[in-house]
Amino acid sequence: MRVPSLSPRRAPRLAAAGVALAAALAGAVVAAPGSAAPAPAPAAAAASPALAGLKVLLTNDDSARGLDAGYGTDGKGLYVLRKALCAAGADVLVVAPWSQQSGAGARMTSPGFAPVSMTVQAVTPPAAYAGDCAGSPSAGAVFGVCVAAAPCSSTTPSGSPADAVNIALKRFAANYWPAGPDLVLSGTNFGQNIGATLNHSGTVGAVVTAHEYGVPAIAFSAEVPRDLAQIPNVPFAATADFAVKLVTALRKRNALTAGLVLNVNHPFVGAGETLGKAVQADVGYSSDLGLTFLDDVPATGGTYRLVAGAPATETRRNADTTALARNDIPVTALDGDWGRPMPIQVSLVIGSLK
């Protein structure tokens, strides 16, 4: 696959973003298991929490209700990240889908020829996370978005991650912050979003939507181990800790700017393995899910079964897929934009049409 060259408009902006990201990653130090902890900061420097005063809109592509507290497939990562952010001093408001929306991409509800009812309904956090943000101005308020008139119920269609960000940034978040949030975070997702797969990710779709509003945004995902017995050990806590370190470093570098869109994936580190380092990576060409269809269907139609398979071989250098496989933490800068330079042959054809 040929990689298109950057347009002159985009190249300086991405180059500047890359410099800021490199500096921030250098500041977001990750200690490998068994390594010495960094020296404690002086008492005077520790007086103010690292993210004090930072207004964070938090979303995900799972349920705001955190219905699966065991394995964490449905919102546990969001609550672990919420806890870490509030502990670091951030003011966190959660507006997320009412129910599971994995794979929703950037899908957004359209009103068509008549208004569509969309409800932002308060959610009581799971008991394990109830008091995590009690001291913050917004008290860590949590809301789910459904596509219906109130109240949302177990059978109500859910808003998508893009819907949640859209309704929060356009209207709802102003109830808490008249000037809006400083940052949108999406995650932590149950499962990695790397390579071609991230194009279809609701977690990533949420931050691309935030980019449309000019709000800096970062998506966080935690790798699911291939060994099903290890599923309860998806690294939500480690991902949340890294998220706080990264956001803190970006803030110190004044890098939380309107053009910032990042995708971060934290590896699952198995027994005998070592956590790597945070690295800048490019979006890989491989699909990590390796989706494939079983069965044969005749020309008259029929039913296939869709299953996950082996990931395709990665062919791109410095890919996020490769970095995650070696237990590094790939951080990918996205442009939040489907545009690209027009191929000269196509440009000539268009110019010749009347």
Between CA 243 and CA 265 the distance in angstroms is 10
Q: Is 45 exposed, middle or buried (0-12, 13-18, 19+ CB in 10 A)?
A: exposed
Backbone angles phi, psi at 12, to 5 degrees: -65, -35
Virtual torsion, Cα 106, 160, 119, 156, nearest 10 deg? 150
Query: What residue ranges in 60-194 does DSSP mark as E strands?
Result: 91-97, 119-122, 142-146, 183-190
- Angle value at C-alpha 9, between 3 and 12, nearest 5 degrees: 85
Residue keyed to tokens 């509003």: 213
Domain extents in the chain: 51-109+116-337
| pLDDT at residue 289, as a whole number | 78
Nearest to 176 by CA among 136, 214, 117, 215: 136
Mean pLDDT confidence for 310-319:
89
Quick check: 277 and 328 in contact, CB under 8 A?
Answer: yes
User: What 8-state DSSP symbol labels residue 287?
Assistant: B
Between CA 58 and CA 183 the distance in angstroms is 9
Backbone angles phi, psi at 74, to 5 degrees: -135, 60
Between CA 187 and CA 196 the distance in angstroms is 18
- Asked if pLDDT for residue 120 goes beyond 90, the answer is yes
Mean pLDDT confidence for 114-132:
94
Instruction: Count CB atoms within 10 A of the CB of residue 8.
Output: 8
| pLDDT at residue 290, as a whole number | 81
From residue 68, give the alpha-carbon distance in Å to each of 101, 160, 273.
14, 19, 28
Positive or negative CA dihedral for 174, 176, 182, 186?
negative
Indicate the pLDDT class of residue 29, thresholds 50, 70 and 90.
low
User: What are 195's strand-pairing partners?
Assistant: 287
- Asked if pLDDT for residue 46 goes beyond 70, the answer is no
From residue 299, give the alpha-carbon distance in Å to each of 294, 302, 303, 306.
16, 8, 12, 18
| pLDDT at residue 39, as a whole number | 53
| pLDDT at residue 101, as a whole number | 80
Look at 77 and 31; give whichever has higher pLDDT.
77
Quick check: 291 and 306 in contact, CB under 8 A?
Answer: yes
Quick check: 288 and 194 in contact, CB under 8 A?
Answer: yes
Most confident of 91-95, 105-109, 127-131: 91-95
- Asked if pLDDT for residue 293 goes beyond 80, the answer is yes
Per CATH, the number for 51-109+116-337 is 3.40.1210.10
DSSP code string of 92-119: EEEEEESS--TT-TT-----TTS----E
pLDDT tens digits, one per residue of 184-232: 999 899 999 999 988 899 999 999 999 999 999 999 999 998 787 888 8
